[in-house]
Structure 1
Amino acid sequence: MGHSIFNPDRPYGADPDLQLLYWGKEKCPPGHSVGPGIRECYKVHFVHDGFGTVTVGERTHRLSAGEAFLIYPHIVTHYEADREAPWTYSWIAFQGAQAGAMLAETSLSPERPAFPMDLKLMPGLYDALCGVLARGGAAGLRLTALLYEFMFALTEAAPASAQAAKPPLRKQDGYVHRSIDFIHAHYGENITVTQLAAHIGLDRKYFSVLFKEALGIPPQQYLLHYRMDKACGLLGSGAYTVGEVARSVGYQDALLFSKMFKKTKGSSPKQFLPPP
């Protein structure tokens, strides 16, 4: 079984625009399956040998050696190793304020997560990352440099010009994008699904169906996860109390916030506070 190696310099000293979280490698047993589920970060898998499939929504993609796929945060994804010739893959997980903008320079999308990855563009990424840790010392800058190098390789492996072959954006997708923008701008307020639907001019029930079809989760759940992700960052900074964080992400009741936080993250907000 494989395991992930976490960036020891994260979150301290991390680049807020692009942060390497962890990486790993695994030779999967036949039929090894992950999901369906969501991640809270971007994660790229590279297939070194064998076969497998990745499914997002109603679309399933079969991949083999020399190909890769990107998992988007908060998008329900399922991937599974072939039962006759299971794949070996490595992975790299990242996030950051500019990660989405960088990926917008590629032809990738949640509906089209698979792409050919010429290993010559980024030779031995897993070994290179492990080598940085083996050298000791302050690894953060070297790890970040490798991540930026990888992002450049990604734009070459899946160039944005390939988007010309994509169908035009559906009107329904535009509604979902507008609602996500609204959530990101107003998550700290007492917003409801009814307000979201009204903002984009749709019936609440119809809007909820569109949103779930696009992202795999209902809007209430997306809002909850987005708020709790923001809360993690605020708690981890050590600059705010639990009550202040609760109000900052839209909860006037700190007890309700703590309950929802534990339900979402598996532990209490206080456990996310840095040690004194």
Structure 2
Amino acid sequence: MGIKKVMVIGAGQMGSGIAQVCAMAGYSVTLNDLNEEFLNKGLGAIGKNLQRQVEKERISAAEKEEILANIIPNVELSAAENADLVIEAAVENMEIKKSIFTKLDEIAPEHAILATNTSSLPITEIAAVTKRPGKVIGMHFMNPVPVMKLVEIIKGLATEDEVYKEIEEMTLALKKVPVEVEDFPGFVSNRILMPMINEAIYTLYEGVASAEAIDEVMKLGMNHPMGPLTLADFIGLDTCLSIMEILHEGFGDDKYRPCPLLRKYVKAGWLGKKTGRGFYSYE
């Protein structure tokens, strides 16, 4: 059975982006979150993104309205009873994800695939709380979702080959590039990216150079579009710390030890762009 109806759980930056690209590809999308305030914020972000596409003449105003009509907001998990695919994009916390997947397993139809947009947590562990581990898979989209082409597709220990193929085909329908990755902490993207960001933070912590100088070296010397400290601010320093802790615990290797300065900033509430202060000030 092909995927026609998609439910996205979480209307934050990632979830709203996933809902947008699914709706643009013609899927019927249910966007779910805990309350209407979160949903309205997510729908507002989608509307702004699409309006920019209209202004750039990439889509027409009529196409924008068609895309928005494909997205149905809903605060009830029970809406999963009609889904062919559920993509969970909630907070990066294993206990919360396990709770969501336990409920989804009871609600979603037998044929439905349950996917998680986790950036670092084990797919196999999430799948183990369901009675359908063969139909659980990782779909790690990159931020910002409408712009970035990559989707890491992560098979858990029990994920069926047919499920992988179906998700791979859907990813191509979204005009994204699917890359198969095994179920290891951080997968590929964050296993490489986060230690680089963490090392940049150590470089600042040890007084080797200023934040601006570190970012300039990586932009001009390594041709990175954005410096690692600026990127950390955009990702969220709490998210960076969480992923480094998952890598440290998962591999048991001190090369993944989070920098004390990263911990200090998170404890201070300096989480980056979203709080107005991180390695740079956004006031």
Between Structure 1 and Structure 2, which shows a larger proportion of helix residues?
2
Same fold (TM over 0.5): no
Q: What TM-score comes out, normalization by structure 1 length?
A: 0.34
Q: What's the TM-score once normalised by structure 2's chain length? A: 0.33
Structure with higher strand content = 1
